[in-house]
Amino acid sequence: MLLKSIEFNDFRPFKGKQRINFECSDDKNVIVILGNNTHGKSTIILSFLWCFYGESKFERPLDILNQTVEEHMKPGDRKTASVKVELEHEGIDYIISRYQSFAMTYNGTLSPNESVMKMTYTDENGETKPCGSTKKELFDAMNAIIPKDLMPYFFFEGEKDNNISTKSIGKAVRSLLGLDTLSKARTHLRGDTQKVSTKSVMGVFESLQNETDNIKASAEYQKKVDAENKLKLVSDRKEEIETQIENYEKKIDEINEILRNNAPTRELQKRRDSIDKDLKEERRELDNAIARYIKNFNNNSIALFSVPLFGKVKSMLSQMDLDDKSGIKGIEGPAIKELLRRGECLCGTELKEGTIAYRTIEKYINILPPVNISTSIREMFDLMSQLEKNCVDYINSFRNDYRDIQYCINKINDLEREEASLLFELSKANIINADQYEDDLRIYKKRLSDLRDEKDNCISDITTLNNTIDTATNNYNMYKSKSEKNKENQLYYEYAEAIYNWVNDSYNKKEVTLRTRLNNIVTELFNNIYSGKREVEIDSNYNIWVKVNGKPLALTGGLKIIQYFSFVGGLVKLAGEVMNERNGETEIYGEEYPLVLDAAFSHADENHVETISKELSTVTNQLVFAVMKKDWNYVEDGIKDKICRVYNLNKVNEKEIIIEEV
């Protein structure tokens, strides 16, 4: 691409139509635009971008229409500002125009319309044809000639203080590489930060992967398996219980049958038990009666044995001579002697020998036994009367007792006979142990009841477990489905990661390669301009170091300027190479490119200005050099032979600049 001309119409400071012709010959490829600060040098350079891509990077980006024109507009007036660039690319002539119309409103404000681009080319028949009708078609056509991202390196606005920020170098390199796309791809895929950005492709797929779904699915599956295992156990147990219930019911039926069949025998057995009990009772009663009988004999039979003697006793006693003296019943002579010996009567009266009391008591010795036995005989009669009565009582009582004994014996005999008869009947029957059967029956009934309770519990458990299984299965399917989606997302994430790694590797390799190439070009240019041998190094962070023997130099204003222009030159040269490489050209410089440059030589000495200009003219096919008038002489010395045309920017006032060819 080589520029042929640029034409302004009421565009910013350029009132009316003003044109710069860039057409050069092969040996004279430098166009010089002279202008001091604020004289529109930057406007000229940035107007290419506005024309080609509609992007306004001016200081006041909306001030497209010339201010003088605007001031003269009346309400309802319409004016149009435009830039038209003619260029040649790959042998074809193109005309690119951009217009923007403005209307003055009735309230005195300027209303801009959207800018409109036109792009035509002249075909082999000399006919002018549009490059497209839609914005996209026009953009693509323009981008094929000079990509938007590379515009800044061919249309170099420059830096006012000749400082090169690492940011701008990095950005430049990335743009040249086409790494912006890769960078955007990297950002899009992963984000800029160390951690994966949640807004990036990888971040989105990462966030879509919910590990808890997997865990939950596993947990639900485990729940389902556990419940199924438990269900099997409970179901098995239920079957077991049902079999046991059946067995117990059968056993109970059998026992009931046996007991029903055994009922008569059972009655006999019961009667026998009753007899046995009665027998024990009667035998105890007999033992008691016998004991009573014997005891009665031991205690009371003396009366019986005595009475037969009483006839003779009474006969003997009646022959005995009884005196009238009355003794004291129960007291005999020795007792009286004892009282006298003690000297005290039972009533407490002192019994002193010779006293009346003593003598009164003493006379009883002769009327009491043994001196006087009348009292004893009388007592004996009394006793016999009593014994005769006792004898009758005894006879009655021993007879009663004996009757009781006989009754018991008879009863026992009866019971024993009945028992013998029962035993005989029982011996004929098939005797079973009904008590044992009834005990068994009770035990079986209790077990049956327990088993039925357990079976009910099993049924309840089975229902619960089935519900648990259903719920777990549903949950499992839900989480599994989510989990499968997770796997899909994981796969996408891995794809995105792989693409990211590929892009990143490619990015890094390309960046290193291009940085090295830039480094080489810049070094060559630097040493050409400097006329010495210095090492220039662009490190991975795009810091530019000028070194001697590996040690960085502190850059003075002059060296700084050399460094700056080396970089600019290197950049445009590299950009040209890359452009051709992108277009598939194998030969470097297959296509020609211009460098439109606002060159600030403020801090450069005259020698360096000369060499800088000279070197820049070699790195590009068309050098449009906007310089300050004060630097012009030195520039002219360096590129005198190459200058094709010189324009001067004449500032009429703050709102109007006139472009004049010198």
Return left, alpha or beta for 489; rule: phi > 0 is left, psi -120 to 50 is alpha, else beta: alpha
Supply 26's token pair: 């092969």
Question: What token pair was written down for 604?
Answer: 């450069």
Sketch the per residue contact string, 428 through 457, with another protein: x for CB under 8 A, - otherwise.
------------------------------
Q: Which of residues 294-353 bind another protein (CB under 8 A)?
A: 294-295, 297-298, 301-302, 304-309, 312-313, 316-317, 319-320, 332-334
Cβ at position 377, least distance to another protein in Å: 7
Q: Which is nearer to another protein, 369 or 590 (CB)?
A: 369
Distances (CA, A) of 33 to 41, 295, 629: 7, 167, 9
Please count the residues of this chain forming the interface with another protein, following the rule CB under 8 A.
40
Closer Cβ to another protein, 226 or 404, answer by number? 404
* Neighbour tally for 94: CB within 10 Å: 20
Choice between 108 and 308, CB closer to another protein: 308
State which residue, 317 or 646, has the beta carbon closest to another protein.
317
Q: Interior CA angle at 38 toward 37 and 42, to 5°?
A: 90
Cβ proximity to another protein: between 304 and 555 the closer is: 304
Q: Cα–Cα–Cα angle for 290, 292, 298, nearest 5°?
A: 105
Instruction: Dig out the tokens for 91 from the structure.
Output: 């042998």
Largest CA distance in the chain: 211
**In this structure, what are the phi and psi dihedrals at residue 644, rounded to the nearest 5 degrees?**
-95, -45
Distance CA 401, CA 323 (A): 45
Q: Which is nearer to another protein, 373 or 522 (CB)?
A: 373
Question: How near is the Cβ of 268 to another protein at its closest, in Å?
Answer: 29
β-bridge pairing 622-627 and 594-599: parallel
Residue 144 or 383: the one with the smaller Cβ distance to another protein is 383
Output the smallest distance, CB 249 to another protein, in A. Answer: 55
Residue closer to another protein, measured from CB, 261 or 410: 410
Is the Cβ of residue 219 or residue 304 nearer to another protein in the bound state? 304
Distance between CA atoms of 570 and 612, rounded to whole angstroms?
12
Opening angle at CA 536, ends 45 and 31, nearest 5: 25
Round to whole Å and give the CA distance between 44 and 394: 168
Rounded to whole angstroms, the Cα distance separating 170 from 193 reads 17
Query: Among 58, 121, 402, 495, which residue interacts with another protein (rule: CB under 8 A)?
Result: 402
Residue environment code for 284-316, b if the CB has 16+ CB neighbours within 10 A, otherwise e: ebbeebbebbeebeeebeebbebbeebeeeeee
Report CA-CA distances (Å) from 294 to 290, 298, 300, 304, 387: 6, 6, 10, 14, 19
Select from 245, 279, 380, 499 the one that contacts another protein (CB under 8 A).
380
Q: How much helix, strand and coil, in percent to the nearest 5, is found in the chain?
A: 60, 15, 25
As measured in angstroms, the least distance from the Cβ of 392 to another protein is 5
Tell me how far, at minimum, the Cβ of 402 lies from another protein, in Å.
Answer: 5
CA distance 220 to 204: 27
Using the contact rule CB under 8 A, the part of the chain among 17-25, 374-382, 493-501, 593-601 near another protein is 374-382
- Residue 383 in contact with another protein, rule: CB under 8 A: yes
Position among 377, 426, 448, 462 found at the interface with another protein (CB under 8 A): 377
| Residues 233-292 interacting with another protein (rule: CB under 8 A) | 286-287, 290
Residue 430 C-beta: closest distance to another protein, Å: 37
| Least separation in angstroms between CB 297 and another protein | 6
Q: Which is nearer to another protein, 185 or 405 (CB)?
A: 405
CB 289, min distance to another protein, A? 8
What residues make contact with another protein under the rule CB under 8 A?
286-287, 290, 293-295, 297-298, 301-302, 304-309, 312-313, 316-317, 319-320, 332-334, 369-370, 373, 376-377, 380, 383, 391-392, 395-396, 398, 402, 405, 409
